[in-house]
Structure 1
Amino acid sequence: MAQNKVTSAEVAARAGVSQSAVSRVFTPGASASAKTVEKVRTAAAELGYRPNVLARAMVSGRSRIIGLVVAYLENQFYPVALELLSNALQAKGYHILIFTAPNSTDGIDSVLQDLMDYQVDGIVAASVSMSSDLAARARSAGIPVVLFNRGQNGEGFSNVTSNNVLGGAKVAEFLMAGGHERIAHIAGWQGSSTGRDRQEGFVSALEAAGHEPFDVLEGMYKRDIAMAAARSLVDRPDPADAIFVGNDHMAFAVMDAVRDAGMTPGRDISIVGYDDVPMASWGSYDLTTLRQPVNRMVDATVETLIDQIETTAGKPGLFEIEGELIVRSSARIPEGWTQ
């Protein structure tokens, strides 16, 4: 038989305080003396009381829940980013509701609508886009949206990314300085701003220096497609001597593929990724990569989201944060190269 839920009135009676005092103890930011907090929490523990957060949200108009949406978790960058986002938001007194969504506008819009139905105070969408119709509904509902690691113009929400164009250019300059002649690119999905911008920066920097890219193939941010692309670049009479890969997740697959072809990264061919996930520093990969400044990206995301939730002056913003090239052994290091 289901046990009846303990009420705040019962807790108040056990603690010898008013019901409003119980409410204050369990409301983040509310004022209550240390003595009252101790009495109420002791009584709540003895009775097995759990405050009804959703009911309180209906009264206050604030759920203190943030919806986090991510398209896929195979990319090792996203578990790291989601953990940092979750920790930072919880430190601000917000609860986290995480949804995964297919990387299509219809699927993502359905998930985002579900989040809005949960009365979330704000939404962080990691590497997903949203339709203009849903963006308008979020604005109308007063729910701020921050796109994390994805840029989308003109919809009245914030964008937080690394400076992907500059990052791609830094990789091109590094590989040219290493004396490479057949420099290829396995790009990320071109339906994403990250894929397009990294490719744009990389190719533009090559062309500005009088180099044509050896080849540009789309890896779709998928391991198997990136491996097939890598095989096609090295299985030629004149194989690529350097490959810039649009993210580390694909770069690990590319390194595996070129090793299967009998080549050694860093000696026979240079491989450079983008993200600097923890696995990039593992000895089995030791990947040269453009580091996404994930801590600063998370700080900017949380700051702009909370500012819009808690103040009337909060406005959407565009944040492009420069990342650092991390040089390891997967790519030839140019003579005299300094970070």
Structure 2
Amino acid sequence: MRKPRPTPAPPAAAKRPERRVTSYDVALLAGVSQSAVSRCFKPGASVSKATHERVMKAARCLDYIPNAAARSLITRRSNLVGVIISSLAGPEALAELSRQITQRGKRALLFTPTRENELDTILSEVWQYQVDGVIAAASLSERQVAQFARRRVPLVMFNRGAHGPAVNAVVCDQAAAARLLVSRLAEAGHRQFALIDGPQDCADAQQRLLGARMRIAELGLPVPAVVDGHGDYASGGNGIRAIIAQLGRVPDAVICGKDVAAIGCLDTARHELGINIPGKMAVAGCDAVEASAWLSHKLTTLRQPIQKMAQAAADLLSGLIDNRDAAPQQRLFNAQLVEGATARLDTPDSRDLALRLALNKHGLLTI
């Protein structure tokens, strides 16, 4: 039986070159080709386990670090992906996008506008880094989107509305999610709704607001009380006070554009105003942030499939980088309703039981 070829150790007299160590030096020491060394440092590239071990050992001996700048000159790619993400998008979206980009052998270059009206300044910075592509979780105007096409930089919109079918986008159907929430609350007997709006420049919050108002109107329910908010904790507390002053009573259900605002509303209602939640009033949020699941909150909210959406965005952008003339795609995802402890919701099981009890009352069913 043929013995495996041992990994050669560096000669005792061999010293690390005084010049910068190159992949050629590693290949020479490991006894492999220079292209094999390159493949070992390229995520996802095909290389045998034995070759990988030989190359990594040689690289450690020589303290070799791949030269990303040199590689970009050869491939004509920077291996940088710009991620434009506003503070309103949330940490989960940023973490997932960064993870998905890294898994594809690229590095995320982060651009974080404080407000979405700062995007012209942000884009002027993006162009300086020669990024291979951009994922934008911020609302771009048609003029700003046109800059990407002119510069032939692939763009994928993430959870933001696209300007026409020619723009690549991965989005959650925000209006449909809000309609689902209103429907479930209405089925449980809630009639007077109130809405604490999200930030005016947050597209997903505005789409949810529109979806909720449309569904309330379709159901023939009273016009909801609507107050402006900024998606923060204070907005929730200020919002519920303003709603009660506007209506002259406690509403049946309050839907907030962001979970943090919903938690502010919840705390103010319970601890300042003495409102029983969910007995007297239901409170619901959107986004399913980590704090929404804490035992003191257990918020009823809407969860977006951020992990699946981030994976789809990274896949879509990778395809566009390899083929910039590919046909544009728009991928739509649905949100999931999280049934917390802050709202009475009619479930399918409870509706079935109510029907069975009604039939039994009339002697039509035995249970």
TM-score, shorter chain, exceeding 0.5: yes
Tell me by how many angstroms 1:286 deviates. Answer: 0.8
- The corresponding residue for 2:23 is 8
Q: Does 2:209 correspond to 1:199?
A: yes
Residue-pair matches, total: 331
Return closer, same or farther for 1:243/1:135 CA change in 2, 3 Å cut-off: same
Q: Is 1:244 aligned with 2:255? A: yes
Give the AA of the match of 2:174. Answer: N
1:71-96 deviations in Å (ceiling 9; x for gaps) = 11xx5x62212222222222222222
Q: 1:108 aligns with which of 107, 119, 129?
A: 119
1:118 is matched with which residue: 129, 135, 145? 129
CA contact (8 A) 1:288 1:330 kept: yes
Give the CA deviation at 1:9. Answer: 4.0
Query: CA separation in 2, counterparts of 1:237 and 1:51?
Result: 68
Change (3 A) 1:6 1:152: same
> Who is 1:189 aligned against?
199
| Mapped partners of 1:333, 1:35: distance in 2 | 58
Q: State the SS of the aligned residue for 1:274.
A: coil
User: Greater CA deviation, 283-292 or 89-98?
Assistant: 89-98
Aligned residue runs from structure 1 range 1-339, under 5 A: 5-17=20-32, 19-28=34-43, 34-72=49-87, 78-105=90-117, 107-126=118-137, 128-154=138-164, 156-235=166-245, 237-259=248-270, 260-312=272-324, 314-334=326-346, 336-337=350-351
TM-score when scaled to structure 1? Answer: 0.87
Residue type of the partner of 1:8? S
Question: RMSD of aligned C-alpha atoms?
Answer: 2.6
**Is this contact kept in 1: 2:158–2:313, CA < 8 A?**
yes
Kindly state the Cα deviation for residue 5 of structure 1 after the two structures are TM-superposed: 3.9
Query: Structure 1 residues 176, 98: CA separation in 2 closer, same or farther (over 3 Å shift)?
Result: same
Shift of 1:57: 1.0
**SS of 2:26's equivalent?**
helix
Shift in alpha-carbon separation, 1:22–1:274, aligned structure 2, 3 A: same
Read off the aligned partner of 2:178 and give its amino acid letter. Answer: G
SS at match of 2:286: strand
Change over 3 Å in CA distance of 1:137–1:269 after alignment to 2: same
- In the alignment, the residues of structure 1 paired with residue 144 and residue 67 of structure 2 have an alpha-carbon distance, to the nearest angstrom, of 29
CA separation in 2, counterparts of 1:300 and 1:20? 31
Going from structure 1 to structure 2, the CA distance change for 1:267 and 1:311 (only over 3 Å counts) comes to same
CA shift at 1:242, angstroms? 1.1
Per the TM alignment, residue 32 of structure 1 is displaced from its structure 2 partner at its CA by 5.2
TM-superposed CA distance for 1:19, in Å, is 4.5
AA at the equivalent of 1:247? K
Q: 1:278 to 1:104 in 2, by over 3 A?
A: closer
Q: Structure 1 residues 271-280 or 4-13, which shifts more?
A: 4-13
| Conservation of the 8 A alpha-carbon contact between 2:197 and 2:257 | yes
Is there any run of 5+ residues in structure 2 with no aligned partner, and where?
1-17, 353-367
Write the letter of the residue equivalent to 1:25: C
Maintained 8 Å contact 2:166/2:328: yes
Does the aligned pair in 2 maintain the 1:271–1:331 contact within 8 Å?
yes
Higher-Rg member (1/2): 2
Identity in percent: 32
1:266–1:29 Cα change, 3 Å: closer
Tell me, yes or no, if the aligned pair for 1:116 and 1:138 is still in contact at 8 Å: no
Cα shift at 1:288? 0.9
> Residue by residue, what CA displacement relative to the aligned partner does 1:273-302 show, whole Å, maximum 9, x if unpaired?
112223222211111112212233223212
Name the CA shift for 1:113/1:4 in 2 (closer, same or farther; >3 Å).
farther
Distance 1:243 1:325 in 2: 15
Deviation track 1:225-275 (CA, whole Å, cap 9, x = no partner) reads 332112212356412221011121221121122122222321221001112
